Amino acid sequence: MAAPRVTPMTELLPAAETVYIGLGANLDDPRAHVERAAADLGGLPASRLEGLSWLYRTAPVGPADQPDYINAAARLRTRLTPWALLGALQQIERRHGRVRDGTRWGPRTLDLDILLFGIRRLAQPRLTLPHAEIRRRAFVLVPLADVAPAALDIPGQGRLDVLLAAMPKNGVAALAPIALALPVGTLPAELDASDTSVADEPPRAALS
Ligand code: A4P
Ligand code: MG
């Protein structure tokens, strides 16, 4: 008798890709939420967390009657598909008590955005890649520059160093590094078409 076919629970990409994730929180001990979420990213399946930015305290963009945010960024190698990664990030948000009440840009215990997924471009309401707002947000660009090469091309938006140089950085203050030994997590190594072109950059000096 033929062996039963095993259906993998999650379809994997044929080779790992580099992904950048934005982390943000401004409710209920936001620094702790962001630090724990960074550790959670290290536990994602078929993924390896390779880079973490500093933590930044940032003034809210959007409704002003909400607390300051803590923001950070992470660099991940993953074989999860963009959709599987989005689902996994939303699961982490829910575990952190994230409630979506429909308020755009309202306060939250944890927000995890996929900033870039390799060089993919996608324009769907459920998933837009790269994230549509990167070039307009210092609270994204500053942490991203800690974990990405300066010449990173953000498809459709421009080069990271050029966008960063043109961006006013008032309202974004470096707070502290995230204490987590990297890398964490495992990639199915034999299938990881490793890209060694992304080097860790030293964290940026404190901004005011
Ligand atoms: N979605 C589409 N593309 C993506 C993507 N690349 N990554 C969809 C993640 N999700 C993506 O998101 C709404 C929907 O976007 C999701 O259902 C998902 O399928 P959400 O997290 O439920 O709602 P949101 O976060 O309030 O909306 P939005 O427009 O994503 O807001 P942002 O851009 O996340 O901004 N100020 C400071 N200083 N720091 C912050 O972190 N964050 C926000 C929220 C506002 N002001 C802030 C900060
Ligand atoms: Mg979001």
Tens-digit pLDDT profile for residues 56-79: 999 999 888 889 999 999 999 999
Tell me how far apart the alpha carbons of residues 147 and 23 are, in angstroms, rounded to a whole number.
Answer: 13
Which residue owns the Cα nearest ligand 1 atom 40?
24
Domains of the chain by start residue, with CATH: 13-178 (3.30.70.560)
* pTM metric for this prediction: 0.88
- Residue 142, helix vs strand vs coil: helix
pLDDT of residue 7: 45
Question: Which residues are designated catalytic?
Answer: 98, 108, 111, 113
- CA-nearest of 145, 199, 132, 151 to 172 is 145
Q: Name the residue with tokens 């829910």.
A: 94
- CA-nearest of 66, 63, 152, 61 to 115 is 152
Residue 113 Cα, ligand 2 centroid: separation in angstroms? 5
Tell me how far apart the alpha carbons of residues 51 and 116 are, in angstroms, rounded to a whole number.
Answer: 14
Tell me how far apart the alpha carbons of residues 19 and 17 are, in angstroms, rounded to a whole number.
Answer: 6
Tell me how far apart the alpha carbons of residues 55 and 57 are, in angstroms, rounded to a whole number.
Answer: 7
Ligand 1 pocket member 100 (CB < 6 A):
yes
Q: What secondary structure letter does DSSP report for 134? A: G
pLDDT of residue 187: 86
Nearest ligand to the CA of 115 is 1
The continuous run of DSSP H or E covering 141 comes out as helix 138-147
Query: Which mutation among 34, 113, 172 tests ligand 1's pocket best, with the greatest number of atoms within 8 A of CB?
Result: 113
Which residue owns the Cα nearest ligand 1 atom 15?
126
Which residue owns the Cα nearest ligand 1 atom 4?
127
Task: Dig out the tokens for 109 from the structure.
Answer: 């215990």
Ligand 1 pocket member 35 (CB < 6 A):
no
Q: Is 88 within 8 Å of 12 (Cβ atoms)?
A: no
Nearest ligand to the CA of 25 is 1
Ligand 1 pocket member 69 (CB < 6 A):
yes
Residue 45 Cα, ligand 1 centroid: separation in angstroms? 23
- CA-nearest of 59, 200, 194 to 139 is 59
Intervals of the chain under pLDDT 70: 1-10, 189-208
Task: Dig out the tokens for 132 from the structure.
Answer: 């549509």
Task: Dig out the tokens for 179 from the structure.
Answer: 């204490």
Nearest ligand to the CA of 93 is 1
pLDDT of residue 1: 42
Ligand 1 pocket member 114 (CB < 6 A):
yes
pLDDT of residue 195: 47
Q: Is 116 within 8 Å of 78 (Cβ atoms)?
A: no
Beta bridge partners of 47: 78
Ligand 1 pocket member 94 (CB < 6 A):
no
